[in-house]
Amino acid sequence: PELEKWVDEVPRPSVLKPDGRKKGKSYYEVDMRQVEQQLHRDLPPTTVWGYEGQYPGPTIETKRGEDVYVKWKNNLPEEHLLPVDETLHGTGPDVPDVRTVTHLHGANVEPESDGGPEAWFTQNFEEVGPTFEKKTYWYANEQPSTSLWYHDHALGITRLNVYAGLAGFYFIRGKHERALDLPDGKYEIPLVFQDRTFNDDGSLFYPSGPDEDEGEPNPDPSVVPEFFGDTSVVNGKAWPRLTVKPRKYRFRMLAGGNSRFFNLKLFQYDEETQTIGDPGPTMTQIGSDGGFLEKPVEISDRLLLGPAFRADIIIDFSEYEGQSLLLHNNAPSPFSGVAGEDPDDVQPLPEIMLFDVQEKGCKRDKSCIPKRLARVPEINPDNAVEERELPLVEGVDEYDRLKLLLGTRESPNGLNWDAPITEDPKVGTTEIWDLINTTVDTHPIHLHLVQFQVLGRRPFNVDQYNADRESGSVGPISDYCTGELEPPAANNRGWKDTIDADPGYVTQVIAHFGKFKGLFKDFTGEYPWHCHILEHEDHEMMRPYEVLPRED
Ligand code: C2O
Ligand code: CU
């Protein structure tokens, strides 16, 4: 359906209240339910899945250093809302279609509470997955203040469960944060950017397979290589507008679509003629996935948000009284690291939302953008005890469908999710992971448990590497590098848990698996790492890794 743009206000997710105390700490119960929700003024109500019956789910507000308990409960119907491909890993006729497990993305968390893909459960925990351990999760919150987000992670159907609506914010706030005098209260707004496609009756559309012309018949339904919706949905409203005062705001941004990258910039906008004018206010980034940056970074051109990235952003509207501003996206879909409109892009989503800046007449804006935000202790590469070469490669599955995989130096052609563990860092040690992208698209690679740092990226000879990989004679990656390490952009120099690994580059990240300079906690056990394009993750672009205990 053609929906009129900018008619609904951006809703603000509610804040979840604790249901009580457990072991002296806040205890929450969160119910997943199927509900009808109005996603646009002119659209019939849409059936969605929501935590506490809300899409997006309510925001969980926590304090740094104060652990909390959450019991996630599945009260969803027995039938899935969307087409389930029963040939993917973790699925099949013997596995219930509606199974859920909630992962707190970016959390430094014990494995039993991580919400891994095989720890799923059904209504009333009647059936549970092979790695299910407990009903009530424990979150330590011993990490820098930041925006985490929770979302579904059930093996083989994550893309469907998240698309149906299972996602929400989780904030960790520290004392230090209050002292920064950032815009707060009604001037601090979480924004989750998603893309959806709707049927005329208001229901969510998700493809049951690739388009016919894309090749041989597939299983029906079949997973698709990626999914891009044609409608921008922000905080659960299609093409919304946000009325703001001419002052500073803090936006907690999250790219929460299945496959879509967002490359964002504000422009002055004439609503009447629907024309884009001069650039609007710049964005100042103060935080990344896992915490504050050391210093604010003014985004000179565009802000890139790959799937699951968060950006803590200050925008000052004080010079734009009475104006409309369009949040514009020019990331091609699929994204390959090259910014700018792509004439061949069949699913672009240039318009994200509108900001309406009111006329003056409000109180003085006492908030500020501090010169220094936080200390981000550097993980020193000299301390790395291991450097792992991890190729991102293309393969095919038994139905001849393109399947993206993660590999190792020994298995450079990729390994499935259920292959034995190959990455096994010891707790308390530092490692460098080289993400060698041999494919044509950018993959947002996410590690559970840790917040890592980005060392940079190096171009390499993909054709030579792929030829050697296929002939079984691949050498060390340094033999293929064609240039020096390019350092990360200023806004990628903080804590990250998901990184865009661009094609043709070796993206180097460094992680410390344990407590680090008063931050994080030591945890051992199994965690996944994967591509956060949900269609890739569901189709084998995910591997388990294990943090091993200390040897005494
Ligand atoms: Cu946001 Cu393993 O995921
Ligand atoms: Cu991917």
Could you tell me the pLDDT band of residue 552, with boundaries at 50, 70 and 90?
Answer: low
> What value does the mean pLDDT take over residues 495-515?
98
For residue 153 and ligand 1, the question of a CB distance below 6 A is answered with yes
Q: Which two tokens stand for residue 43?
A: 């659209």
132-153 pLDDT, tens digit each: 999 999 999 999 999 999 999 9
339 pLDDT exceeds 80? no
- Select from 443, 470, 475, 447 the least CA-distant residue to 457: 443
Nearest atom of ligand 1 to the alpha carbon of 105: 1
Does any ligand 1 atom lie closer than 6 A to the CB of residue 105?
yes
User: Which protein residue's CA is at the shortest distance from atom 1 of ligand 1?
Assistant: 105
362 band by pLDDT with thresholds 50, 70 and 90? low
Q: What is the pLDDT of residues 533-542, one digit of tens each?
A: 999 999 999 9
Poorest-pLDDT segment among 30-44, 113-127, 290-304, 328-342: 328-342
* Position 500 confidence tier, pLDDT thresholds 50, 70, 90: very high
Q: How far is the CA of 148 from the centre of ligand 1 (A)?
A: 11
| Ion ligand 2: residues, Cβ under 5 Å | 443, 531, 533, 536
Long-range contacts of 413-419 (CB under 8 A, 24+ apart): 413/469, 413/470, 414/540, 415/543, 416/89, 416/540, 417/89, 417/117, 417/155, 417/540, 417/542, 417/543, 417/544, 418/89, 419/543
Cβ of residue 530 lying under 6 Å from some atom of ligand 1:
yes
Q: What is the pLDDT of residue 346?
A: 84
Q: Which atom from ligand 1 is nearest to the alpha carbon of 528?
A: 2
Sign of CA dihedral 449, 226, 535, 531: negative
CB distance 103 to ligand 1 below 6 Å: yes
pLDDT of residue 112: 98
Longest dimension (CA), the chain: 71
> Per-residue pLDDT for 213 more than 90?
no
Distance 395 CA to ligand 1 centre (A): 22
Query: Rounded mean pLDDT of 233-254?
Result: 98
Q: What percent of the chain has pLDDT over 90?
A: 94
* 149 CA closest ligand 1 atom index: 1
Assess whether pLDDT exceeds 90 at residue 156: yes
- The half-sphere exposure of 551 on its side-chain side, counting CA atoms within 13 A, is 2
Q: Which ligand is nearest to the CA of 503?
A: 2
Q: What is the mean pLDDT of the chain?
A: 96
Average pLDDT over residues 317-345: 92
pLDDT in tens, 268-285: 999 999 999 999 999 999
The number of the ligand nearest the C-alpha atom of 153 reads 1
Q: Which atom of ligand 1 is nearest to the CA of 530?
A: 2
Residue 70 Cα to ligand 2 midpoint, Å, equals 30
The pair of three-digit structure tokens given for residue 342, joined into one six-digit string: 């792509």
CA of 158 to the centre of ligand 1 (A): 9
Q: How far apart are CA 192 and CA 385, in angstroms?
A: 37
Report CA(503)–ligand 2 centroid distance (Å): 11
**C-alpha 101 – ligand 2 centre gap (Å):** 21
pLDDT at 117 over 90: yes
Ligand 1 atom with the shortest distance to the CA of 529: 2
What confidence score (pLDDT) does residue 342 get? 82
Distance 100 CA to ligand 1 centre (A): 13
Percent of the chain with pLDDT over 70: 98
- Looking at residue 340, what is its pLDDT? 80
Q: What DSSP assignment string belongs to 500-532?
A: EE-TTEEEEEEEE-S-BTTBS----EEEEEEES
CB burial readout 231-250, b (16+ within 10 A) else e: bbbbbbbbbbbbebbbbbbb
- Which ligand sits closest to the CA of 159? 1
- Residue 405 Cα, ligand 2 centroid: separation in angstroms? 8
pLDDT at 1: 86
The reported pTM is: 0.98
Q: Of ligand 1's atoms, which has the minimum distance to the CA of residue 106?
A: 1
Q: Which atom of ligand 1 is nearest to the CA of 151?
A: 1
Task: State in Å: Cα 447 to ligand 2 middle.
Answer: 13
Q: Which ligand 1 atom lies nearest to the CA of residue 542?
A: 2
Task: Return the ligand number nearest the Cα of 255.
Answer: 1
Asked if residue 215 has pLDDT above 80, the reply is no
- Ligand 1, atom 3, lies closest to the CA of 105
Mean pLDDT, rounded, for 297-321: 97
Q: Is 446 in the pocket of ligand 1 (CB under 6 A)?
A: yes
Ligand 1 contact, 528 CB (< 6 A): yes
For residue 443, report the distance from its CA to the centre of ligand 2, in Å: 4
For ligand 1, the distance from its centroid to the CA atom of residue 184, given in whole angstroms, is 28
Whether 448 lines ligand 1, by a CB cut-off of 6 Å, is yes
Q: How far apart are the C-alpha atoms of 211 and 400, rounded to whole Å? A: 15
The strand pair at 505-512 and 20-22 is best described as unpaired
Q: Quick one: average pLDDT of 427-431?
A: 98
**Spatial separation of the C-alpha atoms in residues 304 and 533, rounded to whole Å:** 15
CA of 104 relative to ligand 1 center, distance in Å: 8
Mean pLDDT of 298-318: 97
151 lines ligand 1 (CB under 6 A): yes
Ligand nearest to the CA of 115: 1
Burial of 343 (0-12, 13-18, 19+ CB in 10 A): exposed
Q: Which atom of ligand 1 is nearest to the CA of 308?
A: 1
DSSP 489: P
CB of 308 closer than 6 angstroms to any ligand 1 atom: yes
- Closest ligand to C-alpha of residue 225 is 2
Alpha carbon 453 to chain centroid distance?
16
Phi and psi at 301, nearest 5°, equal -120, -85
> 162 alpha carbon to ligand 1 midpoint, in Å?
11
The residue assigned the tokens 């908030």 is 367
Residue 56, ligand 1, Cβ within 6 A: no
